[in-house]
Amino acid sequence: MGLTTAGGNGILDTLYRTTTWYIGLIRDDGYTALAAADTLASHAGWQEADEYAGDRKAFTASVAASKSNNNTGNEASFTINADQTFKGILIASAASGTVGTLRATVLFTGGDAACSNGDTLEVALSNTVA
């Protein structure tokens, strides 16, 4: 027997609905790898993007069901202010800066996102526990 549905839903709801987490973008410039040891202050294989307006965007998670949650309908919306290609996202406990917890990094499942100044990049995120 593994993790029950109620247990998985509880983990996701506790993690993502009782604390605000923020989504930031990872640039393709200088990218080599994501690493389990990465922190907000130290991540040699990638750079956080700043080619968008404002701070990192809040991740507004749905109520977990079937050991999964997502931000469908509340996608993180980034207004791009310079030409840039993005590789993926980071999830952090802080809206900006290098102090706080880096919860996760992930590359886009559809490949890199090439954006131009004035574009809007919508980021949908889903989490599943097993």
Helix, strand, coil fractions of the chain, as percent rounded to 5: 10, 35, 55
Q: For residue 119, what pLDDT is reported?
A: 98
pLDDT tens for the chain, residues 1 to 130? 689 999 999 999 999 999 999 999 999 999 999 999 999 999 999 999 999 999 999 999 999 999 999 999 999 999 999 999 999 999 999 999 999 999 999 999 999 999 999 999 999 999 999 9
**Using DSSP, how many helices (H) and how many strands (E) does the chain show?**
1, 9
- Per-residue model confidence (pLDDT) at position 91: 97
Q: Contact, 69 vs 127, CB < 8 A?
A: yes
The pLDDT score that the predictor gives to residue 1 is: 62
Q: How far apart are CA 52 and CA 32, in angstroms?
A: 22
| Contact by Cβ (8 Å): 39, 102 | yes
Q: Domains of the chain: which residue ranges?
A: 5-128
User: Could you tell me where the beta strands, DSSP code E, fall in 2-109?
Assistant: 21-27, 57-59, 68-70, 76-79, 84-92, 102-107
